[in-house]
Amino acid sequence: MEYGSDMAPTTSLPFDLRGKKLLLIIAGGIAAYKVLEVIRRGREAGLEIRSILTAGGAQFVTPLSVAALTENKVYQEIFSLTDESEMGHIRLVREADLILVAPASADIIAKMAHGLADDLASTALLAADKPVLIAPTMNVQMWAHAATQANIATLRARGIELVGPGKGDLACGEVGSGRLAEPPEILAAIARLLGHAQGPLSGKRALVTSGPTYEPIDPVRYIANRSSGKQGHAIAAALAKLGAETVLISGPTREPDPLGVRTVHIETAAEMLAACEANLPADIAVCAAAVADWRVAEHHEQKLKKEAGQDAPVLRLATNPDILATLSTAGAKRPSLVVGFAAETEKLIEHAKAKLARKGCDWILANDVGPGTGTFGGDSNLVHLVSRSGDEEWPRLSKLDVATRLAARIADELTGKHPTKEVKV
């Protein structure tokens, strides 16, 4: 893990967890190191964290690092007289608002499901009277095993919340389900369960698309575009900051997953559409992604070979689904407010109005990307908000300020509540 880059202090957290208390149980798992980032970013958001480190957990992270980052004592032993007199396991759970088990190993999940209490962590969990969130991680076969799945079903039925596991490369060298959820996802789950995210959009669900899509030519080549994802990611963070439960469907970008937002990573337009549909119903949809207009019509299972003397291959393209238009015409599941983007080099308003009608959305943020504007890939945007009732010209703003202003306008439109203090223009 690259702490230098990943753990740079976040200046603007989309939620405030001051006054909230987390009991963090760190069980054994190679991904335990990721929990250090959860601690650090949780502390930045004002969360007070007490921790229990199991014997397995202590094989992967040291009590010293956990104590230093939580700025609190780390509890390890059930039968420590000092700990029991200072802070028994009952008090540890009573004084917490939420209990997080991360990483949650197959072993601790089994103990929880069967009510075992043979160490401090399992005893505290059995005594828990607070919401419990677990972030499982293990080998793909261990996760898929009928015993683990039965234990997870038991825990779910008892109201225990899960974050992850994700799919991907596992530390054991295998690939599949079993990756610990990423820290921003864990923090978003904590924030959701602690019900912190209060704002004019509390209780509303938002869906945001961002970044480019990658359309494969063969297993190693793809068609893509230069979208950075900056604007879409900033919009997702801004909506979450106003209290919306926000899902970001993102193509491949260099942007970090925004805190307080659930980010779903996809590559192709078809995957982006499927992920959007899987996350309906929503109250708000903002389509900021630069979806590839075309994909390669034939799927090449093997790498196309460059043979001497042969002509270059001809790629036949097929048109991708239009996600904005699909969401705008989703019938009963249509979000109340659907917002699209239009990048135009000329006749900005005229083209935006035509797009509004063609796609069936409610607003178009029309971007002036004319030569010399530096909008694409840059940090600022020149935007008009075009709706059926007219056209609002916004001054040149940073992409972050465009996001803040758009989120405020959305809150205004849906609730009539003005978060005006937060809009710096």
List of residues contacting ligand C5P (CB under 6 A) = 209, 269, 287-289, 291, 320, 322-324, 340-342
Could you give the CA distance from residue 55 to residue 25 in angstroms, rounded to a whole number?
11
**Residue 8 amino acid letter:** A
Could you give the CA distance from residue 196 to residue 191 in angstroms, rounded to a whole number?
6
Q: How far apart are the first and last CA of the chain?
A: 38
Give CA separation, 194 vs 14, 247, 266, in Å: 14, 18, 28
**Nearest distance, CB of residue 270 and ligand C5P, angstroms:** 10
Parallel, antiparallel or unpaired: strands 284-287 and 205-210: parallel
Do residues 109 and 151 make contact, with C-beta atoms less than 8 angstroms apart? yes
CA geometry: angle at 280 spanning 140 and 411, to 5°? 120
Q: Which residue has the tokens 């200072």?
A: 86
Which residues touch 104 (CB under 8 Å, ≥6 apart)?
27, 29, 134, 135, 136, 137
Q: Whose CA is closest to 355, among 345, 347, 364?
A: 364
The 3-state DSSP class for residue 363 equals strand
Q: Which residue has the tokens 């609002």?
A: 392
Could you give the CA distance from residue 364 to residue 341 in angstroms, rounded to a whole number?
5
Considering the complex, state which of residue 245 and residue 322 has its C-beta at the smaller distance from ligand C5P: 322
Considering the complex, state which of residue 15 and residue 341 has its C-beta at the smaller distance from ligand C5P: 341
**Nearest distance, CB of residue 386 and ligand C5P, angstroms:** 12
Considering the complex, state which of residue 341 and residue 394 has its C-beta at the smaller distance from ligand C5P: 341
Could you give the CA distance from residue 420 to residue 75 in angstroms, rounded to a whole number?
45
**Nearest distance, CB of residue 116 and ligand C5P, angstroms:** 50
Do residues 11 and 36 make contact, with C-beta atoms less than 8 angstroms apart? no
Considering the complex, state which of residue 120 and residue 327 has its C-beta at the smaller distance from ligand C5P: 327
Considering the complex, state which of residue 48 and residue 362 has its C-beta at the smaller distance from ligand C5P: 362
**Nearest distance, CB of residue 319 and ligand C5P, angstroms:** 8
Catalytic site residues? 172
The radius of gyration computed from the CA coordinates of the chain, to the nearest angstrom, equals: 24
Considering the complex, state which of residue 36 and residue 356 has its C-beta at the smaller distance from ligand C5P: 356
**Nearest distance, CB of residue 213 and ligand C5P, angstroms:** 8
Which residues touch 62 (CB under 8 Å, ≥6 apart)?
none
Considering the complex, state which of residue 300 and residue 351 has its C-beta at the smaller distance from ligand C5P: 351
**Nearest distance, CB of residue 317 and ligand C5P, angstroms:** 13
Do residues 264 and 273 make contact, with C-beta atoms less than 8 angstroms apart? no
**Nearest distance, CB of residue 409 and ligand C5P, angstroms:** 16
